[in-house]
């Protein structure tokens, strides 16, 4: 069973792990052009630039915390995941820091630039059918053959705790927020962010944002159960 129970203490611990290797928070910038277009009095919009992190996305936080939290016994045969790019590059980067092997299952047709980035950080690529079932089957085979640890892209406690450090940093840099908008894919980032907001600034309204063509989170909340979206159109 996947462990998804975390609290604010886990996010603080993740932050202490991550900052041993990544000391400088990603910058926060004012989005002046958006403010002008919105034409709302006294509106201030701040953007946390996770694209300027080591691998170009916030995914490095969850991957790094997950890999650093493994015991020597758990990490001895390395790690693996399935990813179309960002989580794979992040896990490869984290595994390189830990000096352990890493295999990334990538769907056919994935971005060549992202595949090159995974390889740049030392990841071994295994291609699979471009379906969720194809990804999961290929990853299961890699784990079975190599004896490595699978690091999910979002639904695992150390990953969510790592992603939550984005909001924790953000509230250090811009404490007087009224709204916090978080993109929603797998849900790891918004889950970690919700824990931070509840602990530090419960008055903030947390808003998840997802594409209309992949609105499985909205539909899941409306129906009171998890509704998968096997073929999102974004």
Question: Which helix (H) or strand (E) is 102 found in, with range?
Answer: strand 102-107
- How would you label 99-134 residue by residue, b for 16+ Cβ within 10 Å and e otherwise? ebbbbbbbbeebeeebbebbeebebbeeebeeeeeb
Q: Known catalytic residues?
A: 59, 84
User: How, if at all, do strands 149-150 and 79-82 pair?
Assistant: parallel
Question: Which helix (H) or strand (E) is 125 found in, with range?
Answer: strand 124-128
Phi/psi region, residue 39 (left: phi>0; alpha: psi -120 to 50; beta: rest), is left
Residue 42: CB atoms within 10 Å: 5
With a CB cutoff of 8 Å and minimum separation 6, the contacts of 28 are 46, 47, 48, 49, 170, 173, 174
Q: Are 18 and 90 in contact (CB under 8 A)?
A: no
d(CA 130, CA 123): 19
């Amino acid at each position: 069973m996947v462990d998804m129970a975390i609290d604010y203490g886990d996010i603080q611990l993740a932050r202490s792990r991550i900052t041993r290797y990544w000391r400088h928070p990603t910058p926060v910038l004012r989005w002046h052009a958006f403010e002008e277009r919105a034409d709302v009095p006294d509106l201030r919009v701040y953007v946390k630039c996770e694209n300027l992190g080591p691998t170009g996305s916030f995914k490095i936080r969850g991957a790094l915390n997950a890999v650093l939290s493994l015991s020597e016994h758990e990490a001895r045969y390395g790690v693996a995941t399935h990813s179309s790019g960002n989580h794979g590059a992040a896990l490869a980067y984290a595994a390189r820091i830990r000096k352990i092997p890493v295999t990334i299952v990538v769907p056919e047709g994935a971005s060549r630039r992202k595949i090159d980035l995974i390889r740049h950080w030392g990841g071994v690529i295994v291609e699979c059918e471009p379906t969720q079932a194809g990804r999961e089957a290929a990853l299961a085979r890699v784990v079975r053959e190599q004896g490595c640890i699978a690091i999910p892209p979002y639904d695992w406690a150390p990953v969510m705790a790592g992603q939550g450090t984005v909001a924790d940093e953000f509230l250090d840099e811009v404490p007087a927020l009224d709204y916090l908008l978080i993109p929603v894919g797998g849900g790891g980032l918004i889950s970690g962010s919700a824990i931070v907001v509840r602990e530090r600034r419960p008055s903030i309204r947390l808003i998840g944002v997802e594409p209309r063509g992949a609105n499985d989170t909205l539909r899941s909340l409306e129906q009171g159960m998890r509704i998968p979206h096997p073929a999102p159109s974004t």
